[in-house]
Amino acid sequence: MSEIVNVGREQVHVVASGPADGPPLLLASGLGGAWFDWTPTARLLRGEYRVTVFDRPGLGLSPAAVAPPSLRRDTAILEALAERAGRPVIVLAHSMAAFPAEALARLRPGLVRGLVLIDPSHERDPRVPVRLAAALTPLATATGAFLGATRLAKVAGPFGRRMILKHTSRRDEAVPDDVVRSVYGRGTVIGTVIAEDLAYREMAADLASLRGRRPFPPVPLVVVTALGDIEDPAGKREWAGGHERLARMSPRGSRIELPDAPHMVALDRPDVIADAVAEISEAKAT
């Protein structure tokens, strides 16, 4: 089932599958991602779970955003979608989406059954001397609008998507090319990707501040580390070390390391994600 739902002031495109009474899963894509990045994973999970995938405002098939990307906005969207499930959810968050997923667990632990952070973004020292993301978001939006009006978006967007996927996945798209073009050929999507990139550092800094105020709840936490697209040994150690620190946030945390898998784990290794969900689902509540 695909629909547009209201979450506060924003509207988001939501795709739900699986039994309505199944244990609820909430899937959040990384920077610039779309619902179809989860297609292989959703296929494995929807037989047993109620799987809800969504596009953040301005991405995928969601309408343009009202507010610029921020940790507060994106956490509020996760919160509203989790509340719609009617019971605690297991949140699966890829890359940058790990920021609001962790924030949700800290702010509304009663909504979260567990977390699977899939090759999550992390920053050891995310201080931001000057905050410019909100001020620059209109420029990003205008850039996207210009590309859409001149039809350059129909070329630049899908081309950029192909180039990124070439370096982050070892498989083809999980949906037909016309679906990919219908998403990444939108000027709104391109502008939103730029805006999310501008907001990245500030979101990391806001999460670091939140960590000092709100403890992480003792919920099951699985961190999946993909090292297949990192060539530098020192870079691999740093990335894995950051994920080890994330796993230690919870006394029930664990980590899975995938030496040969690239960043788009939901496309390349959906089996690993399904196993992580099963591990959390079978864990006893504390």
- Residues 148-154 have a mean pLDDT of 93
Give the pLDDT score at 125: 87
Give the pLDDT score at 1: 83
Distance CA 35, CA 31 (A): 12
Q: Give the tokens for residue 274.
A: 């399904």
The answer to whether residues 191 and 140 touch, using CB atoms and an 8 Å cutoff, is: yes
Give the pLDDT score at 285: 59
- Residues 175-189 have a mean pLDDT of 96
Q: Give the tokens for residue 30.
A: 């990384």
**Domain 2-131+202-282, CATH number (from 3.30.1490.20, 3.40.50.1820, 3.60.130.10, 3.40.50.300):** 3.40.50.1820
The answer to whether residues 221 and 117 touch, using CB atoms and an 8 Å cutoff, is: yes
Q: If we measure between CA atoms, which residue out of 138, 102, 132, 254 comes closest to residue 202?
A: 132
Q: Which SS3 state, helix, strand or coil, does residue 59 take? A: coil
pLDDT in tens, 49-91: 999 999 999 999 999 999 999 999 999 999 999 999 999 999 9
Write out the H or E segment, with its range, that includes residue 92: strand 89-94
- Residues 141-164 have a mean pLDDT of 95
Q: If we measure between CA atoms, which residue out of 11, 15, 12 comes closest to residue 175?
A: 15
Q: If we measure between CA atoms, which residue out of 129, 132, 122 comes closest to residue 207?
A: 122
Cα dihedral 27/31/37/42 (nearest 10): -10
> Of 20-29, 62-71, 230-239, 250-259, which gets the smallest average pLDDT?
230-239
Q: How high does pLDDT run on average in the chain? A: 96
Whether pLDDT at 208 is above 80: yes
pTM of the model: 0.95
